[in-house]
Amino acid sequence: MPHIDPELERFVQAFPVARVSAPGADVVKIREDLDQRWRRMQPVVQVGEVADLTTPVPVRVYKPVLGAVDLPVVVFLHGGGWCTGSVVTHDDLCRRISRSAQAVVVSVEYRMAPEHPFPAAVDDSFAVLRWVGSHAREIGGDPSRIAVAGDSAGGNLAAVLTQLARDNGGPELRFQLLLYPAVGGVGEFPSRAENTDAPVLSTADIEAFLRHYAGSITGEPPVTLAPALAADLSGLPPAFIATVWHDPLRDEAEAYGRLLAAAGVPVETVRFDHLVHSFASYAPLIPAASEALEQCLSALRKGLLR
């Protein structure tokens, strides 16, 4: 098994994340505590403009240069198991996306479980994507160059949005950036057993998040929960999928990349063996995470130039 980057390993050991699978864990309290910690952090990456707007759903909009127009637009969905995370916890990542891709980033404050279970997050995310398709120019964007991006549960939502946009009249998407996404699928995924107690995200954590988000679903999950189960993946935008060895989600994300390729979708799947789930959030602190994230953002930047 590959070794974790030493600096990253020391950090996650010194500052372990709260486990939603722990006995008696209060996911709403975990969410609130996470938000409070991130609110105390000062931005490392400076961009030209940051504004909170009310669309059908609250969003935070980032522009690399004040007053810039005709920029590509990235609709960003934050991770956190559909239960935690916010525009606050992913502020740094969105700043990095905006600066690196020279794009308007629209970070979606979608409703979360357990208060708002599936499909609330999907409905909110798609509502914002449709709004961006119609109002891109109002926020300095180019409606012909829209991408979606997300990490973990946000990667799930981003993948779902590509299918919804394809099947429901747009908007047409240029690219999808999926960072260690939860996409579901069929078959055995050894990474679940290999990473039962992985740093940041364990197999039990995944199960706990799913119970909160979609515990009422019985039988085969819909493709808006498990996009890898879609019967047809053709016609989706080019993709970059980032995975890490030390992650229960590794195998399903890589399998999704193979399914996209088999459907004729241009896709690049890159595994970062020395990192852990949520590495993009460690970019302000860990050089190895920052370098890996820049590789991902380089693919996004090129995808928006197609």
Q: Please confirm, yes or no, whether 152 is among the known catalytic residues.
A: yes
Among 125, 247, 251, 274, the active-site one is: 247
DSSP code at position 88? T
* CA–CA distance, 236 with 176 (Å, rounded to integer): 9
pLDDT of residue 306: 62
Burial grade of 213 (CB within 10 A; 0-12, 13-18, 19 or more)? buried
Q: Please confirm, yes or no, whether 123 is among the known catalytic residues.
A: no
6-304: CATH topology is: Rossmann fold (3.40.50)
pTM of the model: 0.97
Among 212, 277, 278, 281, the active-site one is: 277
pLDDT of residue 78: 98
Among 152, 191, 202, 281, the active-site one is: 152
pLDDT in tens, the chain (306 residues): 789 999 999 999 999 999 999 999 999 999 999 999 999 988 889 999 999 998 999 999 999 999 999 999 999 999 999 999 999 999 999 999 999 999 999 999 999 999 999 999 999 999 999 999 999 999 999 999 999 999 999 999 999 999 999 999 999 999 999 999 999 988 889 999 999 999 999 999 999 999 999 998 988 999 999 999 999 999 999 999 999 999 999 999 999 999 999 999 999 999 999 999 999 999 999 999 999 999 999 999 999 986
Q: Where are the domains of the chain?
A: 6-304
Q: How many CB atoms lie within 10 A of CB 36?
A: 10
Q: Please confirm, yes or no, whether 191 is among the known catalytic residues.
A: no
